[in-house]
Amino acid sequence: MLFCDVTGSTALGERLDPESFRQVMRRYFDAARRVIEQHGGTVEKFIGDAVMAVFGVPVLHEDDALRAVRAAAGLREQIAVLNHQLETDFGATVSVRTGVNTGPVVTGTEERLATGDAVNLAARLEQAAAPGEIVIGPQTWALVRDAVGAEPLEPLQLKGKSAPVSAYRLLQVHGDVRPRARVGGAPLVGRGSQLRMLGEAFANLVAERSCGLFTILGMAGVGKSRLAAEFVRGIDATVVTGTCLSYGQGITYWPVVSMAKQLLDPQNGCSGAAGLMARDAKVAAAVNVLVGEQAAVTSPAEIAWAVRKLLESSAELAPVVVVFDDLHWGEPALFDLIEHLADFSRDAPILVLCMARPELLDSRPGWGGGKLNATTLLLEPLQPAETATLIDELVPPGTGIDARVRERVQATAGGNPLFVEEMLALLAESGDADLATPPTITALLAARLDQLAPAERTVLECGSVEGQSFHQGPVQVMAPEERDVPGRLMTLIHKDLVRPDRAVLPGEHAFRFRHLLIRDAAYQALAKADRAQLHERFARWLEERGAGLVELDEITGYHLEQAFGYRCELGPADERARQLAADAAAHLDKAGRRAMDRGDTGAAVSLLERAEALLPQLGLNHPVQQSLIWASRSPAG
């Protein structure tokens, strides 16, 4: 959430003619809307002289917090430009203060306005900011801290908040496209064979003086950029890099512009590119249009041709490696340019190295297929032993993290190096042995799931109610409107979000979330009302179909207990909620008595205490109440 308002607007309105004041505010609102929308945000409403904007609605992105902070900084710069015009036209200037906060909200109402405590806190942060300041909340800081410069403020006493709130004054946004990794210095682990593949492909291109396309696919955090960085560090070549942005307007050629500027920078010593620009006016004209130094009409085909000529001239002196990162966010014209390089470059040792998530194949199904010197590598998560090695490299044994925490990090990360690093970083900063999911990972996974088709997301969310492993049958019951659950599950397997698993229930097909964190992200995306309904549907399915399950009462009782709990969080318990409590208590009571019969006192106590906690919703003479009285008087009780 981003809130900004004009300070001193009352005095400004008193001094200016009403029509002039209206013109000043219109220009301010236009500038705010333009900057916010350029960074992928949505202006929800104008309130007096304030702007309320949201990032992540209606489409969620992993970098929404950074987008909001960039927009706030961009608006501050735009206001400085606007003030020159306002001073000339009206003899007046405006000053804005801004608050940015991150948190869960409810949206989708008729007004589509986001509501929740995160919205209120953003408004309070804005009110606490001084003119010209940008104040960001603690969750926003946790998400953008490696991409911005900021200083902590004294904890703020904000209206409506029972405790002081930590906040930060934004000083600057770094030029990097993405936050820099907080944990670094660890050697590359488990990627020896992939590194050799890259080296061999490059050596062949150099020997043949040809151009090749090498694409590394993998989910976010699996180590694509890390592998590429290790590769280019060990070769003798001219390396130019560019990263595709996930937002903005007119950014089709953003990575190519960056590459062209690197080639033409005299400090980089690429005299071949500079010489071509001096000799060939046609190439120079197209490149100058590309980098914004000349306004003229050109075409994507001319730009692709000129970029190829620029790279080929650079490769006359030394091999060239062209690195495109985050290519899944690229535009069709950029894909065409890359394929043009791979198809038509001749007598020039050029390696076009692309990193992308598997979603690239959704927009470009035939990527690299059938091309000479084209290789696509799917980077899989690390194996358990490799993950353990990475953990040891980042946190050597005996440095304060016990074996159980290490095991939990390894199990939760699922072989994803970024997840390992982020969890260990959060653990080191907080000192809390209770392993929490870092907000960076939560945002990353939530954004990925939000990009799924609605039917796929529905199936995934229903599966998350059962747990990390789930079965097809109950998913169909929880999503009765979805006619092709098997097809949706196959698509989710193709997208590497779930994998087939061994079924616990006879006659069922089972699946397992690729990571526990993916399951948690899918579950957290559900509204509490939906969770209550889905937990109840799953429990009723188990009552009918789970006769062969040894732990039937424990599992059914748990899901009914969850359904009841969520209903109570949303309001007073009604008759249906009380029935859920009674049914949950009956199952937990039955499971508890069975645990007593087998001598498992610890489990019996836990199950019966949970049943007892539901008793306030039941009458004193309810059968479950009487059963618990009996259990408490028995020798085991």
Mean of pLDDT values over 18-23: 90
HSE-up (13 A, CA, CB side) for residue 522: 27
Lowest-confidence range among 270-274, 410-414, 433-437, 472-476?
433-437
8 and 36 Cβ atoms separated by less than 8 Å: no
Average pLDDT over residues 191-202: 95
pLDDT-based confidence at 245, cuts 50/70/90?
confident
Please state, in angstroms and rounded to a whole number, the distance separating the CA atoms of residues 602 and 595.
9
Q: Are 8 and 93 in contact (CB under 8 A)?
A: no
pLDDT for residue 619: 56
Q: Does the structure show a pLDDT above 90 at 247?
A: no
Reference 429, options 208, 202, 141; nearest CA is: 141
pLDDT digits (tens, 9 = 90+) for 322-360: 999 999 988 899 999 999 999 999 899 999 999 999 889
Whether 384 shows a pLDDT value over 50: the answer reads: yes
Asked whether 44 and 33 are in contact (CB, 8 A), the reply is: no
Residues of the chain with pLDDT > 70, as a percent, come to 90
The model's pLDDT over 155-186, given as tens digits with 9 standing for 90+, comes to: 988 887 888 999 999 999 986 545 444 444 56
Q: Is the pLDDT of residue 297 over 80?
A: no
Mean pLDDT of the chain: 87
Average pLDDT over residues 305-326: 93
- CB of 66 within 8 A of CB of 41? no
What's the mean pLDDT in 3-9? 89
Q: Measure the CA–CA gap between 206 and 348, rounded to whole angstroms.
A: 8
pLDDT digits (tens, 9 = 90+) for 40-78: 899 988 888 889 999 988 888 888 999 999 999 999 999
Instruction: Grade residue 269 by pLDDT with cuts at 50, 70 and 90.
Output: low
Band of residue 540 on the pLDDT scale cut at 50, 70, 90: very high
Q: What is the pLDDT of residue 161?
A: 82
Output DSSP code: residue 97: E
Whole-angstrom distance, CA of residue 9 vs CA of residue 591? 66
pLDDT above 70: residue 621 = no
Who wins on pLDDT, 75 or 631?
A: 75
Residue 534's contacts (CB-CB under 8 Å, 6 or more residues apart) are 461, 462, 465, 478, 526
Task: Give mean pLDDT, residues 286-297.
Answer: 78
Looking at residue 597, its pLDDT comes to 85
Kindly state the percentage of the chain with pLDDT values over 90. Answer: 51
pLDDT digits 0-9 by tens, 552-598 = 999 999 999 999 999 999 988 888 999 999 999 999 999 998 888 88
Q: Is 135:168 a contact under the CB 8 Å cutoff?
A: yes
Rounded Cα gap, residues 455 and 526, in angstroms? 14
H or E segment and range at residue 470: strand 469-471
Burial readout 325-345 (b: 16 or more C-beta within 10 A, e: otherwise) = bbbbbbbeebbebbbbbbeeb
Kindly report, residue by residue over 426-452, the tens digit of the pLDDT.
777 766 666 677 888 888 888 888 888
Average pLDDT over residues 224-228: 93
Select the more confidently predicted residue: 259 or 433: 259
Query: What pLDDT does residue 548 have?
Result: 76
Cα 611 from Cα 623, distance rounded (Å): 12
Taken in order 489, 57, 437, 569, the sign of the CA dihedral is: negative
